């Protein structure tokens, strides 16, 4: 998955062009920058690639989530439905917005289960924050239909799903706003960076302003620009944007390699009927950053994960025990252990996070192993890996 596996002269050239001008800031300095606008160029290229009207780059995927929540009008006391399997940043963004995360179950897509969501949606729900985990999609058509029916905002955390599609449409473009990350381990990386995308001009303008202290970006003098709203600084630098621009041009090549590797792993898996692949609503749209599979039960999953590790099959994740990606280990969050008082601490009633029980998600995650698919594997690396995996799988 990680785009840093394919850094080369293309990234160096883009960065060099920025350094030559000395302008590392995305706004202004029109004369000095010699027509080089890396953030702007990246935004245009990404909008075109995803088939969306508007894109605003920002400093991280976490910032993108905060921007999307703000631009969609989600704030203090608003309930946002979230899944328990995600990078913890998703939940942090909701809490920092002053909103209240309400958890619902995932299904065998490893993403939010629309059948469970139906029962969690309530008159207090303001938004649904769906996360497309491990490179592939939730049942996003069903989730989007439910959100329309209940007239709630739908935000997509597509930080792990760059380049993935559902029936040809890019993930991140099904809801009111989509969020992406370009952190060091994502499909495209620029060190630190993120993006929000949408088709609504007003939401886009609010996003771009919010991420830059409320600047309306009108006229040529930053000091004289208007401030229709308050905001903060979630800006990306030109250096980061330059790297991202070079990476974006490689996205199709990355996807091709990942999908070819995953195809071979899927073929291998067919010999082991007790082990089943993750459910993917549109297999062709998987960005194939991960190869995820289910063991028959938690015990065999633990044994298999341990055996893979013993054999040296690296980059396998047993998320059920992971400190950062599954709710079981989020005691800091459930205890609201924050350095300062959060708005949620003033709201009553609020969900009982300590007592949070998600039996369906636990049953699924307890059986799940995901293997990172690397761009740098040679045919020989992959063959050796599959031989070792076959030895382990035959013991199940």
Catalytic residues: 186
How many Cα atoms within 13 Å fall on the side-chain side of residue 35?
A: 0
Judged by beta carbon, residue 61 or residue 114, the one nearer ligand PLP is 61
Other CB atoms within 10 A of residue 89 CB:
22
- Between residues 165 and 189, which has the closer beta carbon with respect to ligand PLP? 189
CB-CB contact of 285 with 268 (8 Å): no
Judge contact between 172 and 68, C-beta under 8 A.
no
Alpha carbon separation from 257 to 5, 10, 150, 254, 340 (Å, rounded): 12, 19, 40, 5, 45
Q: Shortest Cβ distance from residue 82 to ligand PLP (Å)?
A: 11
Q: How far is the CB of 150 from ligand PLP (least distance, A)?
A: 24
Residue 256 burial by Cβ neighbours in a 10 Å radius (0-12, 13-18, 19+): exposed
Exposure of 286 by Cβ count < 10 A (0-12 exposed, 13-18 middle, 19+ buried)?
buried
Among 194, 231, 244, 366, binds ligand PLP (CB under 6 A): 194
Please give the structure tokens belonging to residue 154.
Answer: 């739908």
Cβ-closest position to ligand PLP: 61
Binding ligand PLP by CB under 6 A: which of 47, 160, 165, 240? 160
- By beta-carbon proximity to ligand PLP, the closer residue of 131 and 275 is 131
Which tokens sit at 126?
């303001």
Q: Which is nearer to ligand PLP, 179 or 392 (CB)?
A: 179
Q: Kindly list the distances between the CA atom of residue 360 and the CA atoms of 116, 159, 324, in Å, as whole numbers in the listed order.
A: 10, 24, 19
Q: Which is nearer to ligand PLP, 121 or 155 (CB)?
A: 155
Shortest Å distance, C-beta 180 to ligand PLP: 8
Measured from the CB of residue 211, what is the shortest distance to ligand PLP in angstroms?
A: 14
Task: Considering only residues 115 through 154, tell me which ones interact with ligand PLP, judged by CB under 6 A.
Answer: 131
For residues 3 and 187, the answer to whether their CB atoms sit within 8 Å is: yes
- The secondary structure element, H or E, covering residue 43 is helix 38-50
Is residue 241 close enough to count as binding ligand PLP by CB under 6 A?
A: no
Residue number with CB closer to ligand PLP (192 or 225):
192
| Residue from 157, 212, 225, 282 binding ligand PLP (CB under 6 A) | 157
Crossing angle of helices 9-21 and 38-50, in 10° steps, is: 140
Stretch that binds ligand PLP, among 112-120, 147-155, 157-165, 198-206 (CB under 6 A): 157-165
Is 183 a binding residue for ligand PLP by CB under 6 A? The answer is: yes
Q: Report d(CA 247, CA 64) in Å as an integer.
A: 19
Rounded distance between C-alpha atoms, residue 311 and residue 388, angstroms: 7
**Segment lying near ligand PLP (by CB under 6 A), choices 34-42, 58-66, 72-80, 112-120:** 58-66
**x/- string (CB under 6 A) for ligand PLP, residues 265-284?**
--------------------
Binding mask 74-103 for ligand PLP (x = CB under 6 A): ------------xx-xx-------------
Shortest reach from residue 83's CB to ligand PLP, in Å: 10
Contacts with ligand PLP by CB under 6 A lie at 60-62, 86-87, 89-90, 131, 157, 159-160, 181, 183, 194
């Amino acid at each position: 998955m990680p785009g840093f596996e394919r850094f080369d002269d293309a990234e160096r050239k883009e960065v060099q062009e920025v350094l030559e001008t000395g302008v590392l800031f995305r706004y202004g300095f029109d004369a000095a920058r010699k027509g080089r606008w890396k953030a702007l160029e990246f935004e245009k290229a990404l909008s075109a690639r995803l088939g969306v009207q508007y894109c605003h780059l920002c400093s991280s995927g976490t910032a993108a989530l905060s921007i999307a929540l703000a631009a969609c009008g989600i704030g203090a006391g608003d309930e946002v439905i979230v899944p328990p399997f995600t990078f913890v940043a998703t939940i942090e963004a909701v809490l920092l917005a002053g909103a209240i995360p309400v958890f619902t179950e995932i299904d065998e897509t490893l993403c939010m289960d629309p059948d469970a969501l139906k029962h969690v949606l309530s008159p207090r729900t303001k938004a649904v924050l769906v996360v497309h985990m491990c490179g592939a999609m939730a049942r996003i058509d069903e989730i989007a239909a439910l959100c329309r029916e209940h007239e709630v905002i739908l935000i997509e955390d597509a930080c792990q799903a760059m380049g993935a599609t559902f029936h040809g449409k890019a993930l991140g473009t099904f809801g009111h706003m989509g969020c992406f990350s370009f952190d060091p381990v994502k499909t495209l990386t620029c060190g630190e960076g993120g993006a929000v995308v949408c088709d609504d001009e007003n939401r886009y303008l609010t996003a771009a302003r919010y991420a830059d202290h409320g600047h309306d970006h009108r006229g040529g003098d930053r000091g004289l620009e208007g401030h229709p709203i308050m905001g903060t600084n979630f800006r990306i630098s030109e250096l980061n944007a330059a790297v991202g621009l070079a990476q974006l041009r490689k996205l199709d090549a990355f996807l091709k390699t990942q999908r070819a590797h995953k195809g071979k792993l899927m073929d291998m898996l067919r010999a082991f009927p007790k082990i089943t692949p993750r459910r993917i609503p549109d297999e062709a749209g998987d960005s194939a950053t991960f190869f995820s599979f289910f063991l028959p039960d938690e015990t065999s999953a633990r044994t298999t994960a341990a055996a893979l590790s013993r054999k040296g099959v690296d980059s396998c994740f047993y998320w059920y025990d992971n400190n950062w990606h599954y709710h079981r280990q989020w005691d800091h969050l459930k205890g609201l252990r924050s350095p300062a008082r959060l708005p949620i601490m003033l709201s009553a009633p609020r969900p009982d996070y300590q007592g949070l029980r998600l039996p369906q998600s636990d049953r699924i995650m307890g059986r799940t192993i995901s293997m990172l698919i690397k761009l740098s594997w040679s045919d020989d690396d992959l063959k050796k890996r599959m031989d070792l995996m076959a030895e382990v799988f035959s013991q199940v």
